[in-house]
Structure formats: C-alpha cells, structure tokens
Structure 1
C-alpha cells in the first residue's frame, strides 16, 4: 500500500525571508522615489556615491563631482580615482559616482622597482600612473607581493616584460620595431621583409636578436611602398547646460591631418602576392572638431519616444480625445486627476499638446506606481518603464 502523499509546504524560514524581501523592496523603492521628488522640488541633483564599500544616494546642490563628495564627507587621498573625474560639472539630474581607493603597487621593470599608490585596477593604468611607458608589444602581468622585506611593499606586484627593440635599416631609412622573436630571420619574416642572407650586412639569418640591434639590409627582394591617408579630426565636445540634450552645433569643423603608411610588397612580375604593414606615422596632426552639445535635462524631449508610444496606445495619438468614457485627452486623464494639477484648463482635451505631455510625466513621477498604476494596460502592452526618464 502506497504512503499518503503530501503537498510540499513552504518552510517558516522561506516565508519570513520572502516577507523581509518584499518589505525591503517596497521601502527601498519608496525611498528612491522620495529622494527623486525631493531633489526635483529643491532644484538639486541626485547623486549615488559608491565609496569604501558603501552606497549612498543624496540630493545635492554641488557644482562638481568633487564638491559633492566633499559635502558628503568623502575625502580623496593621493592616488584615489574618481569616475567621473572630480572636475566634472553636475549638469544632469542623476549621477553615479564611483570612488576607487588607492592601494600600493610595486612595479618591476627589469632591474628598476617603482612603488606607486593608485586606485586604478588595470595593470597598464597603474604602470602609466607610475610614469612608465609601455608599448603594445610589452607584456604586463599582475600578482601579489607579500614579502615586505624583499619588495618594500605589501600589495599588488606588477611585472613588465619588455619586447626587444631592434632597428631595421634599408638604405638611409630606419624602421624601429619591438619583437619577441629570437633570430634575425624570424624578425624579418615577422615584419614582412623577404631577403636572402647575402642581402644582410655582416649578419646571418640565424644570428640571435639583442637589444637595440641594427639589422642592415643591402638589397631587398620585396618593394617598399608608402600610402598617404587622411586622419579624420577627433570630435571634442563642449557641454552647454542651457541647451537641451538634443542640441548639437559644430563650433569648429576642425581640419583633417595626414599619415604615411609604409608597406613591404612581394610581387611576381606585375602581380602583387602579399603586403605587410611596416609602420604608420602621422605627418600632419588633425585639428580637432569642436561640437557644442546641450546637457540641459528636457523632460518632454528626453521622453519623446515614450510619450509617442503611450498616447498612440491610449487614443491613437489624439490630444483632443473626448469619447464620453469619462477620460480626456491623449493620455486619458480622469477629471479628478486633471483637476488636481491646477493646469488652468478645464479638461485635458482642451489643453495644448505640450501641457498634456508635461502633466502626464508629472503625474507618473508623483505616483508611487508610476506609469504602471496610471496606465496599466498600455504599460504591459508596451513594456513601459515604471517612471519617466
């Protein structure tokens, strides 16, 4: 005879955990909405600061990231890294600020040891903070240093393994390279030079590579060609907090630069078989293009696509909608909700489009449920966010 089957019952611990999670979510969500509304009401920015393992969200009237940190009692020490940088102007409604505390690193570059305090996490960034130049071919590795007596520091240890610098000379032209290859022949093959051993001045293809070696080629089987190409101007932005985020104005178009790219080319007769890039040098630097961009928060403009979807869903986009169902305008305001805002217009359908756009956003922000409670059907259908941007 089979035993009696029972339905699984949720444990008391699971029920309590679920209850705590729900309560926390509600309280946290309400606190976030409250902070947002407070910041807007006081014409302040809302910043969330991540520092020393803590997260803190506060309204602020600080002008810069650095000032916001100072006002909240966060002191920056030597080597600390802040993202965005401390000089960044606070001209947007919301900011996330990350503070990375500096810790000691030992950088080992051959026989040279350098100790640096840096908040950077990337080994190459730490090396740059130590004032050392590394090339693309160099290898940078990271491990821990726990031997204070030997290293003079306890922290992370960064080792730089340098690629070997060599020069390849063809006539009066000298090309500078860095390589991990071991022999002259391997380097020449890596760089795309096709030569016979008799074409080398006093060297063999099997000779080992050493630092600052000069490999002189008397005769080159392959050709060297050079191509000039334009260097497009880098775009640099100047932020204008008085203009909306959609605003763009080219203040200075800049000017293209020029670079020369050298290739070795192997041919058979007139047919090109292969091409290898030797080097690329900028001969004329490009003048940057300067673009003024608006950074002023524009509630309607920044939510334009969202509003278009919402009113299309509600009324097909008709601002004068009055179908007799007790709801009015493009966003189907009830009369009670509309009256609460004291817009100066008797009904939503009698108000101009920009007024309806403004108050549908305000109404969503003022509601704990946002769009989800004020426009439940369209929110589900369109997958709208809970609150406007």
Structure 2
C-alpha cells in the first residue's frame, strides 16, 4: 500500500491505496466521486476523462500514484465552473445527450476545446472530441452545442487561451511532487486533514468550492451579540446538529455535526478554529470533518459581521458560508439542496441564539435535516404562491 497525496476538486487528500490502483478507481472507490464513468478501461472511449493539472486525461489508464502532488478535477469539481455550466445548458438545448453515460467525459473534453479554440471550427471540434465515443447521439448535437458555446464566448470578447492555460510540460504533477519519498513534499506538507483523519494540530486555510450568503437580525445590541459569539460552547448549543468534545478554545474546537439530506445521513467528526476581530465586530470559523460511514469529507468556513440597526438596539448578522464536499454527500449535496438546508439552519440558529441571549434554553440539539417531504412542501408552497400571484395580477389588470 502507498500513501497518495494530491488535490481533488480543490481539496487536498492523502489516502492509502495499492500501487496498481487506477486514478478512476481511486476517485470512485476511495472518494465516492462516481461521476467519473468507466467504459472500455483501455483509454479508448473517453468516459473516464478528468482534468490532471488542468489537462484532460484518461483516468482508467493513469495510475493514482503517478498523480502524486497533482491537481485532479472530476466532473463534480466543475459544478460551479462557468464554461461547464454553459456547456450543460447547450447540451440540453441541442439534444446532445441521451443515455448520458459518456457525458461527464464529453463535458471535460469539450470544456478544454472551449478554452483553446479561437473559433467554432466544426472540423477542429470533431477532431478534439474524437477520443470521446458516444453510442447514442451521432455527435451532431454535441458538435453544435460546443460550437454555440465557443461562438457565444467569443462574441462576449472572451479570448481563447493558448494551450488552454497550461504553463508546464511533462507528466501529471511534474514539478510538484518531491523527487524522492524519503522527505515529505511541499504539497504534502500543505495538505488539509485526510478523509480518514482530522488529528492535525492546525486547521489549514482553503478556498471554498461553494459560498452562500445568509443574514438575520437579533433584538440585542451588537456588543452583546459579539460577546455571545465569544462563548463557543453557547454558540455550539444553538447550532442544529452540532456537539462538542472536550474543552473548546479559539485555537481548536473539536466536535461533531449530524446532518441528513433526504435518505442519506452523516455524522461528521472534526475540528475547527475560531477567529475574532473586535474592531470590526466580525469573525471567522474554519472547520474540517469526515464521516466514516459515507466516506464523505468536508471543509467549511463561516464568516460573520455584525451591523447595528435602530440606533444600536438591534443587530444585523451577515453570514458568508463556504464549503467543499467530497464523497457520497458530494453526490447529493448539490448547491440548491445545500442552500435550502443552510437557510433552514440559519433560521433555527437565529431563533436558538435569540432564546439563549434572552435567558432561555436553545433546547435539545437535533440533526440538521432536509427531508424529501420538507423539499416537496417548499416546492408546493412556492408554486401555490406563484399561482396566486398570477391570479391577483390578472384580476388587477381587468
């Protein structure tokens, strides 16, 4: 077994695997990133295409150990990517997918073409996609979709990048990993905690894959709210699904977070550090965690800022919630679902915080949950609201 240290979808991981493990099996079986599909397993069909250091590569014929120190991006890591979002819309518009099995690899290759090609030349697009086989569509819709995205971006004066922005030559990770394994590489020294462990002493900074903005108000002055935020145990008791272990300190808070998204439940165990700036009444909570059962891992960041309202009698709490997910939860934790869950959690946190500051008890902690029925009821309420809004507008126009 070999310890492999690399970055997957902007998250540093360090996982033990056999030297013979392919990169495709590594991301699917060890990280539960099953958007990478396996077809021929000979590097011919292109269904397994991922980005290695920004370059499309066949993950089924690439050994994971050869990617030491490299940046790997799977289709899940392109959820918030602008070009991929445009390609997805174009694939839908041009009927460029049917069974969808080849689509993840096709999108990765198409994204590279959109980056590199100066214009929507059909021949160059067909040559560029010749390594991605599709048994359903006949390629006409796929080519049209890629052409439309290239044309739209060039019309917006977004120029092509020479070589797709590539700045280094050589195999994946070249110039990143240490030449020998006797000393830790710079990439490995900078890694965040591995999915199987969160026992490091330092919580590393990271760039969130998704950032959500939320806000609420409290009927208490900012100074009182800021002092409350200094009570780590008190704040944790107000957060749904959160529990602490041991004695918390600003440098390190250890505990867990229970969450449920539809049929999938997880109990993340991890640690966090707390930063505060009294001069600006702001702060940051940076955390990491993993769930052994679902093999999911997360990094999260909450930034808050307190603003006075109504002459300082009321406080507006502005939150910026950033996170990166890997594993099974990354498959169901799409931004829309997570945004709904965050909205519910913030509302419950605000109510608990207000109750706690008023001398009450926030109540017994329970898992943070977004169930199927709660999603369905929200959708139904939204549709009813839109229907009544249209009816009222129609009557007002008569």
Bigger strand fraction: 1
Please indicate, yes or no, whether the TM-score normalized by the shorter chain is above 0.5: no
Higher relative contact order (CA 8 A, sep 6+): 2
**TM-score, scaled to structure 1:** 0.23
TM-score when scaled to structure 2? 0.22
Give the number of the structure whose residues are more often helix, by fraction: 2
